Amino acid sequence: MTRTLLSIVALSLTLAGQQTLDRSKIPPPGKLPVLRVPTWTKTTIDNGADLIVSEKHDLPLVSFTITIVGGADQFESAGKRGVASVTASMLNEGTRTRDGEALSNALQLLGTSISVSVGSETGSIGFVSTTGKFPQTLDILADMLVNPTFPADALERLRGQRLVALEQAKAQPNAIAGRVYPRVLYGASHPFGQPITETTVKAITRDDVVAFHKAFFQPGRAVVTVVGDVSAAAVKTTIEHALAAWPKGGEKPAFTYPSLPPPSSMTIYLVDKPGAAQSTFAIGNPGPPRNTPDYYSLQVMNTILGGMFQSRLNANIREEKGYSYGVNSGFAYGKGPGAFRAGGDIVSAKSDAALVEFMKELRGIGGSRPVTDDELSMAKDSLIQRLPAQFASVQGINGAITTLWTQTLPGDYYQQYGAKIGAVTKEDVVRVAKQYIDLDHLAIVIVGDRASIEAPLKATGIAPIVVTDIEGNRSGS
Amino acid sequence: MFSRRVTILAVALLASAAAAGPSTPLGTGPPTSVGAGPSTLLGTGPSTLLGTGRQTPGAKRPASSAIKIPFETYTLPNGLTVILSPDHTTPTVAVDVWYHVGSKNELPGRTGFAHLFEHVMFTGSGHVPYGIHDKLTEGVGGNNNGTTSNDRTTYYETIPSNYLESALWLEADRMGFLLDTLDLAKLNAQRDIVKNERRQGVDNQPYGRAGEILSHATYPASHPYSWDVIGSMEDLSAASDEDVKNFFRLYYAPNNAYLTVVGDFDLTQARGWISKYFGDIPRGQPITRPAVAPVTLDAEARLVYEDRVQVPRLYIQWPTVGERNDDQFALDVMGAILSGPRTARLTKALVYDQQSAANLFARQSSNEDVGEFLMAITPRPGHSLTDLEAAADAVIDKFKDEGPTQDEIQKATAGLELGYVSGLQSNLGKAFRLADGAGFHGTPGYFQTEYQKSLAVTPADVKRVANKFLTRGRVVLSIVPIGKADQASKPDQSKKVGAQGFSPAVAARGFSPAITPQETQR
C-alpha cells in the first residue's frame, strides 16, 4: 500500500478552489483511445482442425476451446431432442483409463474445470487454466473427447436429473415463454420449434449417445482456439501431441432448414399461469441470419428500440410507466433464421396497457416516431466504443475471435466494425425496422394469469387471443 | 443481488468461473439441462461443468505471486476514502462508489428502503438532469449499475478511459446534490419499479421466497438481518420523501463512502479530478454502528411453504458467522467438500450413489456481521423430503465425526488461485474487491489476507466448524406444490408459512421478511 502525501491532496484542493467550479457543465471526454484489436495466428493441425492462437502475457492464464461448427439442430433427430446435451454431459462420466470420479478428482487438483456444451448450431469443449496447469488440463480434455466410455448407468442418472429439471421448468414463466415463443415462430416441423421434452429425453439410448459423439465431435469441422500466456509455435506442438488420437474426419455441415411456415396474422398466444404476479411477454417474428448485409443497421435500430437502459422500450414501459423492472428487445442471429424478440415481465394488472405501449414503440421505430440525431449518435457511440471491453479477458478474446470463424466473418471484422456502424443512417434504421419487424404478423406470447388478464388484453383489440398449453399447443379458449 | 438493472453482471472475481461448480442458486432451477437444443439460438445452451467447488493449491505450496492489485489510497479532508489502481491493459476504467449502508440500517416499517433509495440515486441530481447518467456511461460504450446488500450499497460505472472525468462528475453530483431535484413523483416512479423487481425476483419465481422465509426464521424479529434487502410490499408503499432526505443526509456523506478507480488512467490527473469534484462536499454526521452479534438457535424450526412449484425442495439453514470471523474460511471450504463436484460428500451420496436427489448445494454465505450455511436439495421422483433430510443428516453426522481428509481440503482449495488470477482481468471486479476490503476490513488489500487464510485452512479447522455450527439449532424449510403440504419433510412437525408475506403482527411472533446474503441490482 502506498499513501499519497497529504500535501499533494492539499495542493490539488487549493488549485481547484481558485476557480469556481461550474458543476452544470458536463466535463468533455478526452481523446478516444485507439482501438487495439488482439492479433492472432491461424494454422491447421495434423488432424485437420484449424488452430487459432492469440498471445497475451500480462497474467498467467490460458483460455482453450475446441469449437465445432454444427449443433443439435444439425445432428439431432426430431424424436431424440436432447441427445446433444446429454452427450456433452456424458463426456464427464469416464474414459478408458479414468472413471467419472477420477476425472473429477484430477480436475479438482488442477484447480480448473472443463465445460462441454452443444447448442443449436455450435458445440464446444474447453477450459480456462493457469499457465502452469495448461498442459495437464489439455491432456484430460483430450482423453474426455477421444476416449469416453459412456457408462449406461450414468445415462440413466442424467436422464432422471433432466426429467426433474423439465418438470421444474413448467413453473418458471421465462422457461415457458422460452419454449412457446420459438414454437409459434418456427412451427413444430422446424428444428427450432422442437424442444426437448419428457418424451424425447426418455427415448435417448446409449447407442444414440455413442453415435452422436462419433458423428459430431470431428476435427474437420473444428477450430481450436488458444488465448493467453502461451507461445504460438510451442503450443501447436503441445496441442498436436495431446490431440494425436483424435482421428481425421468430418466437414462443416450445410445449414439447411425447412422453410418457415407462412406467417399467421398477428396473434396473442396466452399461456395460463394461474395467480402469476406478472405476465411474461415475448413479441416478435423470425429474423434474418447473421450474414445479412443489414446486420449493422439492425444493431443500431435495436439499440435505439430496446438495446440499452434508455432505449425507447425501457424508457417508456419501465422508467415512465413503471409497469416492469425492465423490458428490452434483441435479435438472435445464426446460420439459419434468426429471431426478433421484444419483451419483459409486466405487472399483471398492466398487461393490457403494456401491450399497447409495446405496439406503440414497435410502430414508432418503423417510422411513426422519427429517429433523432441524439438517438442515432448515442446508439452508434455505444456500439462502437464498447468494443475494447470485449478484449479485456482471455475468455473474451477467445469468444470474439472464435465467433469470426463460426460465423465466417472477415479477419479484419473488428477493425471495420466502427466504420460499418458509423455509416448507418436514419433512413437505414427505419428501413430495417419496417423490413424485419412485421407489424401485421407479430407473434405475441404472454405467460400470465389468464383469469385477470385475458379480458383486458382482448379489449385492447390488438390481436385475437389463442390460448395454448406450456408447449405452445392450442388448447382452445 | 438486487440492482437497478435486470442485467446480471458477470464479475469473475473470487467465486468465479473456476470456483463455482454446478450450483443451484436460490429460487431457480439447476443450471444444467433445462432448455437445451433448439433454444440455443434464442439464448445459450446448457454447459456441462465438470470439476469443482472452491479450491486452492496445496497447503505447502506458496500463494501465487500473480495475485496482486497495486493501489494507492488516501482520505480527503471531508472523510472520503479514495483508492486508485491503474492498469493500462485495456482502455477502460471502472469507477465504484461504495457507501457503508444497507438493508440492516433500515428502520422498522421501512424494509426495502436502502434498495429503493439506490434506485432514487439514478433519477438525476442538482446538476445532472435525468438520463444524462446513462448517456455518459452506456451511451458511450460503458455501463452502470448499483447494488444493495444487507451491509453496503455500491454504484459503479465502466467507461472508455476518456470518459473518466465525466463519470467522477456524475458520482460527485449525486453524493453532493441529490436532494436538489428530489420530489415525491420521482420516488413513486421508482417505488413501482422496485415492486416489479420484487415480483420478478421473488413472488413470481418458483422457490423465490425461500430466502426471506429462511432469514426470517433464522433471526429474531428485531434483528437487522431478519428482513430481506428487497423488503415487503407494505413497507415499500410506506416510504416517504422525508425518509429519503433523512437517509441521504446521514448515510450518503463522503465520510461514509469509498471511491475506487481501476483501469487505464493517469494517477495525477485522477487525483486532481477527485479533489475538484468531491473535495468540497461537506462531511456528514458521525455514524454510530450498533454491534450486531451472530445468532444461534436453541432448537430446530420446521416450516413448510406452499408455492407455485412443480417439484418440492428442501432447505436447511444454520446460522454461522460473517466477514468479521475467520471461521468463515473453514466454512467456505466445508461447503466445497460437501457439495459441488461429484466426489463431494453430499453430492456423491445423494445425487450419485443413492440417486435420491436431482441436485443439491451446501455453502457458506458471509455478510458483514453474520453468516449462514445453507443446504438445498431437490428430490428425484419417489424420494420424500423426509428421506432426503435423513440421508443428508447421515452424511453430515459422519463428516462431523471423522472430519475431512487432507486430500479433500486440497481439492476444495486448489482452484482458488485460478479464481483470483482470473478475477484480475476485470477492472470492475478489482474495484469491488478493493472497496469491500476497505469498507469491511479497513484495508483495500484485504483480498490478499483472505486468499492466504483460505489456503491455510486445515482438516482440523473444518472438523471444528462442522461440529460447532451444523447442530440441531437450524431452520428446516420445505417448499412444496400448493395443496401438497404433506410432501414436506416431517409434515406433522412443520409449521405452515402464509402466502401473504409477514405482517407486523406475525413479525412480533418471530417472523419477518428476510433474504439471506442476496443483493439487489438497480
Segment B339-353 shows an average pLDDT of 98
Domain assignment of residue A105, yes or no: yes
Determine the Cα–Cα distance for residues B157 and B167; give it in Å rounded to an integer.
Answer: 7
Give residue A476's pLDDT.
55
* Per-residue pLDDT reduced to its tens digit, B60-71: 445 677 899 999
Determine the pLDDT at residue B291: 85
Chain A CB contacts of B381 under 8 Å are 160, 163-164
Q: By residue range, what is the domain housing residue A319?
A: 267-468
- The C-alpha atoms of residue A27 and residue B168 are separated, in whole angstroms, by 9
Task: Specify whether the CB–CB gap between B309 and B206 falls below 8 A.
Answer: yes
Residue A8 located in a structural domain = no
Q: Identify whether residues B481 and B333 lie together within a single domain.
A: yes
3-state SS track over B393-441: HHHHHHHHHHCCCHHHHHHHHCCHHHHHHHHCCCHHHHHHHHHHHHHHH
pLDDT digits (tens, 9 = 90+) for A410-449: 999 999 999 999 999 999 999 999 999 999 999 999 999 9
Q: Are residues A133 and A59 part of one domain?
A: yes
CA distance B343 to chain A (A): 6
| Residue B141 with chain A: CB contacts under 8 Å | 381-389
B466 is a domain residue: yes
Report CA-CA distances (Å) from A25 to A31, B129, B132, B169, B277.
18, 11, 12, 9, 12
Q: How far is CA B94 from CA B12, B123, B164, B270, in A?
A: 14, 21, 8, 12
Does the pLDDT value for residue B9 go beyond 70? no
CB contact under 8 A, B48 and A196: no
Same domain, A293 and A356: yes
**pLDDT value, residue B521:** 61
Phi and psi at A129, nearest 5°, equal: -140, 170
Same domain for B343 and B464, yes or no, is: yes
What confidence score (pLDDT) does residue B2 get? Answer: 74
Q: B467 lies in which domain range?
A: 301-504
For cell 479485456, the residue is A392
Domain end call among A225, A242, A259 = A242
Q: Which of A59, A111, A278 sits opposite B415 (nearest CB)?
A: A111
B127 contacts in A (CB within 8 Å)? 23-24
Note whether A219 and A295 are same-domain residues: no
B362 forms bridges with which residues in the sheet?
B375
Q: Is residue B517 part of a domain?
A: no
Residues B267 and B381 in one domain: no
Count how many domains chain A has. 2
What CATH code is carried by the domain that includes residue B362?
Answer: 3.30.830.10
Q: What does chain A come to in residues?
A: 477
By C-alpha distance, the chain A residue nearest B278 is: A13
Using the Cβ of A296 and the Cβ atoms of chain B, whether some distance falls under 8 Å is answered with no
> For residue A447, which amino acid is it?
V
Mean pLDDT along residues B217-239: 94
Give the total number of structural domains in chain B.
Answer: 2
**B328 shares its domain with B192:** no
Q: Which amino acid is at B481?
A: P
Between A128, A181, A276, which is nearest B204 by CB? A276
Q: Which three cell numbers stand for residue A424?
A: 448507418
pLDDT of residue B242: 93
Asked whether the predicted pLDDT for residue B30 surpasses 60, the reply is no
Condensed to tens digits (0 to 9), the pLDDT of residues B321-335 reads 999 999 999 999 999
Inter-chain CB proximity B272 and A341 less than 8 Å: no
Answer whether residue A32 is part of any domain. Answer: no
At a CB cut-off of 8 Å and minimum separation 6, what does A295 contact? Answer: A288, A333
Shared-domain flag, residues A462 and A352: yes
In a domain, B54, yes or no: no
pLDDT in tens, A227-244: 999 999 999 999 999 999
Residues A146 and A108 both lie in one domain: yes
Cα B190 from Cα B113, distance rounded (Å): 11
Question: Residue B89: its chain A contacts at CB < 8 A?
Answer: 58, 392
Would the pLDDT of B24 be above 60? no
Q: Tell me, what DSSP letter sits at residue B106?
A: P
Closest CA to B74 of B368, B449, B446, B438: B438
Q: Are residues A202 and A289 in the same domain?
A: no
pLDDT, tens digit (0-9, with 9 covering 90-100), for B300-318: 999 999 999 999 999 999 9
Residue where a domain stops, chosen among A209, A242, A275: A242
At B520 the pLDDT is 60
* Section B285-311 average pLDDT: 94
Chain-centre distance for alpha carbon B236: 21
SS3 B317: strand
Same domain? B309 vs B262 = no
CA distance A127 to B422: 12
Across A310-314, B218-222, B504-508, which has the greatest mean pLDDT?
Answer: A310-314
Q: Across the interface, do A108 and B55 touch by the CB < 8 Å criterion?
A: yes
pLDDT at B28 over 80: no
**Cα angle: B496, vertex B501, B502; to 5 degrees:** 85
What is the layout of strands, in order, in the sheet containing B313-319? B357-366, B371-379, B313-319, B475-481, B301-307, B495-497
Q: Looking at chain A, which residue has its C-alpha nearest residue B137?
A: A382
pLDDT at position B41 over 50: no
pLDDT band at residue A11 under the 50/70/90 scheme: very low
The residue assigned the cell 441427445 is A83
Q: Is B443 found in the same domain as B399?
A: yes
8 Å CB contact of B160 and A157: no
Q: How far apart are CA A173 and CA B402, in angstroms?
A: 44
Examine the domain organization and report whether B216 and B305 are in the same domain: no
Instruction: Give a yes or no: residue B63 inside a domain.
Output: no
Higher pLDDT, A16 or A331: A331
Task: Assess contact for B211 and B514: CB atoms under 8 A.
Answer: yes
Q: Indicate the average pLDDT of chain B.
A: 86
Query: Do residues A448 and A376 both lie within one domain?
Result: yes
Q: Is residue A474 part of a domain?
A: no
Domain match, B413 and B452 both: yes
Provide the shortest C-alpha distance from residue B346 to chain A (in Å). 14
State how beta strands A267-272 and A443-448 pair.
parallel
Shared domain for B226 and B307, answered yes or no, is no
Instruction: Judge if B375 and B408 occupy the same domain.
Output: yes
| Single-letter amino acid code for the residue at B105 | N
Question: Does residue B377 fall inside a structural domain?
Answer: yes
pLDDT at A475: 81
Res B510: pLDDT: 28
Of the residues A168, A308, A323, A374, the best mutation for testing chain B's interface (the one with the most B CB atoms within 10 Å of its CB) is: A168
Q: Is residue B218 over pLDDT 70?
A: yes
A48 and A171, same domain (yes or no): yes
CA distance to A351, A459, A468, B198, B489, per residue, from A453 (Å): 7, 10, 15, 20, 36
pLDDT, tens digit, 9 for 90 and up, residues B452-461: 999 999 999 9
pLDDT for residue A20: 84
Q: A15-24, A43-52, A353-362: lowest mean pLDDT where?
A: A15-24
Q: Which helix (H) or strand (E) holds B505?
A: helix B504-508
B40, pLDDT greater than 70:
no
> Would you say A416 and A410 are in contact if contact means Cβ atoms under 8 Å apart?
yes
- Indicate whether B86 pLDDT > 60: yes
Distance CA A85, CA B87 (A): 40
Query: What ipTM was predicted for this assembly?
Result: 0.94
Q: What is the CATH number of the domain that holds A360?
A: 3.30.830.10
Contact A328/B at CB under 8 A: yes
Which residues 340-379 of chain A have a CB within 8 Å of chain B?
341, 344-345, 347, 378
Query: What's the pLDDT tens digit per position in B122-171?
Result: 999 999 999 999 999 999 999 999 999 999 999 999 999 999 999 999 99
Q: Which of A141, A128, A144 has the alpha carbon at shortest distance from A90?
A: A144
Same domain? For B254 and B372 the reply is no
pLDDT at B56 over 60: no
Rounded Cα distance, A306 and B32, in Å: 29
A405 in a structural domain = yes
The more confident residue out of B503 and B252 is: B252
| Pick from B52, B200, B425: CB nearest A108 | B52
Residue ranges of A 122-181 with Cβ closer than 8 A to chain B: 128-130, 133, 144, 157-158, 160-173, 175, 178-179, 181
Position A428 in a domain: yes
The minimum CA-CA distance between A205 and chain B, rounded to whole Å, is 17
Residue A202 falls inside a structural domain: yes
A208 shares a domain with A129: yes
The answer to whether A281 and A354 are in contact (CB under 8 A) is yes
Which residues in B lie closer than 8 A to residue A383 (C-beta atoms)? 141
What's the pLDDT score for residue A188? 93
Same domain, A274 and A235: no
Structure confidence at residue B4 (pLDDT): 75
For chain B, the straight-line distance linking the first and the last C-alpha, in angstroms and rounded, comes to: 9
* Vertex A360 angle, CA A356 and A363, to 5°: 135
Secondary structure in 3-state letters for A249-285: CCCCCCCCCCCCCCCCCCEEEEEECCCCCEEEEEEEE
Exposure on the CB side of residue B207, measured as CA atoms within 13 A: 23
- Which of B16, B28, B194, B196 is the mutation pick for testing A, counting most A CBs within 10 A? B196
Question: CB B421 to CB A61 under 8 A?
Answer: yes
Residue A228 shares a structural domain with residue A356: no
Q: Does B331 lie in the same domain as B219?
A: no
Whether B25 shows a pLDDT value over 60: the answer reads no
For residue A232, give the amino acid letter: A
Residue A236 in domain: yes
Q: What percent of chain A has pLDDT over 70?
A: 96
Q: Choose among A166, A167, A171: nearest CA to A273.
A: A171
Q: Measured between CB atoms, which of B46, B166, B425 is closest to A29?
A: B166
Are the Cβ atoms of B33 and A178 closer than 8 angstroms? no
Please give, rounded to a whole number of angstroms, the shortest distance from the CA of A60 to a CA of chain B. Answer: 7
Same domain? A49 vs A143: yes
| Whole-number pLDDT of residue B6 | 52
pLDDT band at B515 (very low <50, low <70, confident <90, very high): very low
pLDDT tops 70 at residue A399:
yes
Enumerate the β-bridge partners of residue B319: B372
- Under an 8 A CB cutoff, do A23 and B126 touch? yes
- A-B contacts (CB, under 8 Å): 406
Mean pLDDT over the full length of chain A: 95
Query: Which residue type is seen at A465?
Result: I
Q: Give the Cα separation of A185 and A292 in Å (integer).
A: 19
DSSP element (H, E) containing B85: strand B81-86
What value does the mean pLDDT take over residues A196-222?
Answer: 98
Question: Angle A306-A296-A394 (CA atoms, 0-180°, nearest 5)?
Answer: 85
Q: Across the interface, do B66 and A60 touch by the CB < 8 Å criterion?
A: yes
CA distance B59 to A97: 28
* Interface probe with B: pick from A67, A113, A180, A255, most Cβ of B within 10 Å: A113
CA distance A236 to chain B (A): 23
Write out B251-291 in H/E/C secondary structure: HCCHHHEEEEEEECCCHHHHHHHHHHHHCCCCCCCCCCCCC
